[in-house]
Amino acid sequence: MPITYTSGEQIEVYRFSWPVTVGVPLAALFLQSFVPRIFPPFAVYFDLPLLVTIFFAMARRNPISGLFTGAAIGLAQDMLGPYPIGIYGIAKTVVGYGASSLGAKLDVENAGARFLVTLGFYLVHAAIYFTVARGMVSLTLNWSWSRGIFAGLANALLGIGLYFVLDKFKQRT
Amino acid sequence: MLGRYRNLTILVGVLFLQVLGLAVQVKRSADVENTRLIRIWAVGAVTPFERGLVWVQNSSRNLWHNYFYLRGVRAENRELRQQIEQMRLEQVRMSEDAAQAHRLQQILAFKEQYISKTVAAQVIGSSGTDLSRSVYIDKGSNDGVAPDMAVITANGIVGKVLRVYASTSLVLMINDQTSGVGAMLEKSRLQGVLRGTPNGEVILERVMSDEQVTPGDNVMSSGGDQIFPKGLPVGTVSKVSPGREMFLNIQIKPAADLSRLEEVLVVTGKQEQQAVADATTPRVRAADILAQRLPSVPDRPAGHAVVTTPAENGASGAAEAGQAKPNSNSYSNSSAKPQVQPAGNAAGTGAGSVPVAPPAGTAGAVSAAAIPKKPVQKIVSAEPVAEGDTEGSAGNGSNAAVLPAASVAKPASAKPASSQSPPPATAEDAPH
């Protein structure tokens, strides 16, 4: 039964085994790198490492754990790209912290809440990436609300399915 | 106090460290790769899976295509054979042009760059985001790949090697916003800089707005970047509009399909040498060339094919020098076969023919009527060759070509004609 209270004592905290903690982010990075080879639009609209960051952060409900998970996944994503390391790292650190803080206060177990949280954090992530890339790395990026919202909706939909699968790996503390 | 804001403090600390690290990387020049080790870890963790999956994918595809799905292969083979024949004809003309270019380059002491060695590589992954345009290939330093090597396909250039690991490399594609390629327009020879945009498009910068650039113009590498050898196809102009600061905004459609790359070639060896004219090409007198190139005059009414053999030609006199020619170039076995040259066909459909203006005093054996009216003859796509007749197509029917001089052996019949033509000239003097 989902917990719908906002009281800290009644919120259930989950943990994950080591293979899942390491393997799922690695699989997300691998798929994010490999799938565009077969289906190029995947890279345009989907960000699997972001979905995994949000999922782990919301499930653990611990801001410290969330921000380190986000930092690790973001930095690994940076390492695979051609640009300086840290752009995704910063963006996903903030998302990890925010998602776990939100998860500690709200019920994020149902599909509707997950959809909205994912959509919101996708836009937050895009905004931070945009700011850091332009401000620090001098990359030329064009902000597009329509593209951001469309990609956010696509990620939110994918996220619902992905979270459902990843829920199977949850372990009660 | 710290306990109350512990989470926030750690967040700020982690962010601060990352910002600091980012700032250090941005400040340092690109030559100093200070993040190499951790990149190796990340790439090493991900690419083996990609490599394995690509191998499985290719193996199953090859199994299907090579053993089970062979429908239409015969027809395709037939078409390809026809294409080969046409390309051989084209090659003859090209090699003649190239020989001429080499001679001119030698005269001007130009240095040429050749692609001397390439390594075929398979694309196994991408950076995973549309904000950067880069792909991973399955060849690395173990295979001789090094940073800043050009990556190309048969269609055109792809990008350059950005980072090299032991068995993989990261290739920055030409549509990435941080890439830059020296390029020029094929027709007008205008040079510019090819850059990617944040949207993944490719634009040609630094072309003044008063220049004439039209959509459809071909763009090729200029060699100015010292990465891509000169003359590689880059793409075609798709859109031209006024840009900023008196420059044109030229959008390019890349020749290579950058979104669906599978196999690429890494240019691992480039050779720079002074142009050397082909010494093996025999020096042919211009009059001989003329005699060989001029169209034949049918001695029978149209519709009656003239069948000649080299032997017959050799026996014929000077007046026949410009007529039916023994076609004994390297790709044709027709010297051993009777050639059928349709009447009046040689002038118009001569594949590989080169415009010849009749110089004064050379027409001792050539009638003025035999000189083609159109001075420029391009390669005419030969009609499809009948099945089973591909090997000798250069010597029959419409494919009977008026061939470039250097590639055609001098027929015995041509000699008397040339002997009457003063003054002796070399092939270099012949108008092309």
CA distance B130 to chain A (A): 5
**Residue of B349, B334, B330 whose CA lies nearest to B390:** B334
Q: What share of chain B is helix, strand, coil (3-state, %, to 5)?
A: 35, 20, 45
Mean pLDDT per 10-residue section of chain B, whose length is 432 residues: 79 93 78 70 84 85 79 86 88 84 74 77 87 90 92 92 91 92 90 89 88 89 87 91 83 91 88 60 58 58 46 42 40 39 39 38 38 39 39 37 37 40 40 38
Whether A86 sits inside 8 A of B19 (CB atoms) is: yes
Q: What is the pLDDT of residue B319?
A: 39
DSSP B68: I
Confidence of residue A171 (pLDDT cuts 50, 70, 90): confident
Q: What is the pLDDT of residue B300?
A: 56
Query: B270 CB contacts (<8 Å, ≥6 apart)?
Result: B113, B114, B115, B116, B229
Query: CA A110 → CA A5, A13, A103, distances in Å?
Result: 13, 15, 12
Query: Please, what is the average pLDDT of chain A?
Result: 88
Put simply, the chain B residues between 258 and 277 with a CB less than 8 A from any chain A CB are 259-260
Alpha helices in B4-135 (DSSP H): 6-27, 36-63, 73-108
Token output for B240: 């031209």
Chain A residue with minimal CA distance to B33?
A84
**CA angle at residue A121 from A118 to A122, to 5 degrees?**
80
> What average pLDDT does this structure show over A100-112?
86
Which chain B residues have a beta carbon less than 8 Å from that of A90?
A: 15, 18-19, 22
Q: What is the pLDDT of residue B18?
A: 92
Which chain B residues have a beta carbon less than 8 Å from that of A30?
A: 46, 49-50
Q: What is the pLDDT of residue A150?
A: 94
Stated pTM of the model: 0.64
Which chain B residues have a beta carbon less than 8 Å from that of A52?
A: none
- Nearest-by-Cβ selection for B10 from A36, A64, A83: A64
Which chain A residues have a beta carbon less than 8 Å from that of B39?
A: 79, 85
Token output for B357: 């203006």
Which chain A residues have a beta carbon less than 8 Å from that of B125?
A: 33-34, 37
Q: What is the pLDDT of residue B279?
A: 55
Chain B residue with minimal CA distance to A100?
B7
B129 lies within 8 A of chain A by CB: yes
The three-state DSSP-derived secondary structure of B149-170 is CEEECCCCEEEEEEEECCCCEE
Whether A97 sits inside 8 A of B11 (CB atoms) is: yes
B25 lies within 8 A of chain A by CB: yes
Token output for B255: 């020749």
Which chain B residues have a beta carbon less than 8 Å from that of A84?
A: 22, 25-26, 35
Whether A80 sits inside 8 A of B128 (CB atoms) is: yes
Q: Which residues pair with B192 in a beta bridge?
A: B183
B249 lies within 8 A of chain A by CB: no
Q: What is the pLDDT of residue B276?
A: 59
Q: What is the DSSP string of B400-417?
A: -----GGGSPPPTTHHHH
> In angstroms, rounded to a whole number, what is the distance separating the alpha carbons of residues B376 and B211?
28
- Nearest-by-Cβ selection for B130 from A37, A43, A80: A43
Contact B365/B318 with Cβ under 8 angstroms?
yes
> What average pLDDT does this structure show over A87-111?
90
B27 lies within 8 A of chain A by CB: no
Whether A82 sits inside 8 A of B134 (CB atoms) is: yes
Whether A139 sits inside 8 A of B127 (CB atoms) is: no
Residue with tokens 């994503």: A77
Q: What is the DSSP string of B132-149?
A: S-EEEES--GGGT--TT-
B138 lies within 8 A of chain A by CB: no
Q: What is the pLDDT of residue B314?
A: 42
Question: In chain A, what's the furthest Cα-to-Cα distance?
Answer: 49
Whether B43 sits inside 8 A of A80 (CB atoms) is: yes
**Residue of B346, B407, B409 whose CA lies nearest to B380:** B346
Q: What is the pLDDT of residue B424?
A: 41
Which chain A residues have a beta carbon less than 8 Å from that of B35?
A: 79, 84-85
Q: What is the pLDDT of residue B75?
A: 86
Put simply, the chain B residues between 89 and 128 with a CB less than 8 A from any chain A CB are 123-128
- Nearest-by-Cβ selection for A33 from B25, B50, B131: B50
pLDDT tens track for B364-417 = 333 333 334 443 333 333 344 333 343 333 333 333 333 333 333 334 343 444
Q: What is the dihedral of CA B251, B256, B262, B267, to 10 degrees?
A: -110
Q: Alpha-carbon Rg of chain A, whole angstroms?
A: 16
Q: What is the pLDDT of residue B350?
A: 37
Q: What is the pLDDT of residue A10?
A: 61
B11 lies within 8 A of chain A by CB: yes
Whether B129 sits inside 8 A of A32 (CB atoms) is: yes
pLDDT tens track for A3-61 = 444 444 566 778 899 999 999 999 999 999 989 888 888 988 899 999 999 999 999 88
Token output for B189: 């020879």
Q: What is the pLDDT of residue B128?
A: 83
CA distance B77 to chain A (A): 28
B29 lies within 8 A of chain A by CB: no
